[in-house]
């Protein structure tokens, strides 16, 4: 048995996204309902269990570990976990430890994250308008996020802004967001809104702003150069020659990226989702908890799960009916 994970379509799986909590201090409208019911603590993997689980994946060839949530930095004691993962960076087994955050807690944790070996952080930010920010996040304050970005950059962390493209919401801010990021030496990635979670009262098809349109509008104001660069994720990048910044496009709806998928997602309860757009999952928590002194059953369960990784997802807006909707909230699998 080799220390690599290869799925049935000969794609090497070397990227693990780990949700360390389902809780968040925001309630973004495309991610969760305003009155969410969160999991009881006993169902969540402890920080020690998360360490053991992630270490098993790293020993099987995972090179990139992205920590997500919910909001990962609201998990009590989370720096204990980051500090533990630093040993894999120091040994060379892990090439990158990073996280995706809403930025609300970055001012508290930026220095500690940098000390643990984190070099890059993705911050979710869809608008620079205070009122619109409060509306899309429900509970968030834009000033708190900007303060967090300031602290992260001061700590030497490289920041990339992730924005969900929402028709009728942030279309008019495309150029302002681009310039704001360029002025702060930050790259940016646009993401198509996905049909996940409780969509009652939400017209997701009406929200869908295809990134082909985003790219075309950018092309009217900037010179776009294609980049072959890949960061281990689904984004495809261009460089804006006038600013030098990279702009990424994640297009699960208008053009999927499944042929090169190298990632799986672990939930805070130990469920492994082999595809964001499929409901199939593997429960790894029992193999972990029932064998506290033996990793062999866990490793076997991981290999079995990867052997069932599907070829691709089922998201489809082409028929204007939201086909492929996932019933779980985005926060459940960490994006």
Nearest to 268 by CA among 63, 67, 59, 36: 67
Q: Summarize the chain as % helix, strand, coil (round to 5).
A: 35, 20, 45
Q: Percentage of the chain surpassing pLDDT 70?
A: 85
Q: What domains appear along the chain, each with residue ranges and CATH number?
A: 15-333 (3.20.20.70)
3-state secondary structure of 114: helix
Nearest to 73 by CA among 125, 19, 32: 19
Residue 318, pLDDT above cutoff 90? no
**Of 120 and 322, more confident:** 120
**Of 22 and 2, more confident:** 22
pLDDT digits (tens, 9 = 90+) for 216-242: 999 999 999 999 876 556 789 999 999
Best-predicted range by mean pLDDT (7-11, 61-65, 195-199):
61-65
Q: How confident is the model at residue 44 (pLDDT cuts 50, 70, 90)?
A: very high
pLDDT of residue 145: 97
pLDDT of residue 326: 45
pLDDT digits (tens, 9 = 90+) for 90-138: 999 999 999 999 999 999 999 999 999 999 999 999 999 999 999 999 9
Residue 195, pLDDT above cutoff 50? yes
Q: Give me the mean pLDDT over the 137-163 stretch.
A: 97
Best-predicted range by mean pLDDT (35-39, 140-144, 324-328):
140-144
pLDDT of residue 257: 59
Instruction: Give the span between the Cα atoms of 293 and 288, in whole angstroms.
Output: 9
pLDDT of residue 328: 44
Check if the beta carbon of residue 334 is closer than 8 Å to that of residue 267. Answer: yes
Name the residue with tokens 């019911």: 37
pTM for this entry: 0.88
pLDDT of residue 230: 66
């Amino acid at each position: 048995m080799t220390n690599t994970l290869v799925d049935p379509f000969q794609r090497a799986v070397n990227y693990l996204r780990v949700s360390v909590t389902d809780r968040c201090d925001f309630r973004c409208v495309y991610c969760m309902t305003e009155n969410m019911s969160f999991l009881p603590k006993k169902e969540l993997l402890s920080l020690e269990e998360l360490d053991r689980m992630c270490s098993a994946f790293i020993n099987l060839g995972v090179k990139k570990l992205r920590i997500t949530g919910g909001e990962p930095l609201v998990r009590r004691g989370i720096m204990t976990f980051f500090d533990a993962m630093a040993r894999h960076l120091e040994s060379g087994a892990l090439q990158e430890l990073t996280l995706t955050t809403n930025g609300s807690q970055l001012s508290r944790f930026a220095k500690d994250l940098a000390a643990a070996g984190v070099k890059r952080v993705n911050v979710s930010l869809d608008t620079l308008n205070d009122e619109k920010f409060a509306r899309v996040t429900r509970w968030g304050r834009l000033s708190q996020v900007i303060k967090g970005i300031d602290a992260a950059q001061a700590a030497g962390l490289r920041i990339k802004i992730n924005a969900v493209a929402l028709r009728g919401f942030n279309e008019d801010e495309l150029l302002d967001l681009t310039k704001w990021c360029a002025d702060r030496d930050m790259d940016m990635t646009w993401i198509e809104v996905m049909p996940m979670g409780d969509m009652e009262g939400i017209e997701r098809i009406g929200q869908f702003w295809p990134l082909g349109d985003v790219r075309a509008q950018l092309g009217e104001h900037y010179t776009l150069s294609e980049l072959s660069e890949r960061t281990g994720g689904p984004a495809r990048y261009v460089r804006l020659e006038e600013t030098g910044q990279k702009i990424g496009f994640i297009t699960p709806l208008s053009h999927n990226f499944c042929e090169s998928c190298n990632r799986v997602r672990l939930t805070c309860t130990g469920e492994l989702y082999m595809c964001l757009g499929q409901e199939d999952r593997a429960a790894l928590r029992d193999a972990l908890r029932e064998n506290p002194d033996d990793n062999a059953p866990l490793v076997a369960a991981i290999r079995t799960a990867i052997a069932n990784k599907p070829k691709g997802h089922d998201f489809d807006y082409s028929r204007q009916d939201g086909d492929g909707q996932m019933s779980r909230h985005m926060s459940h699998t960490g994006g």
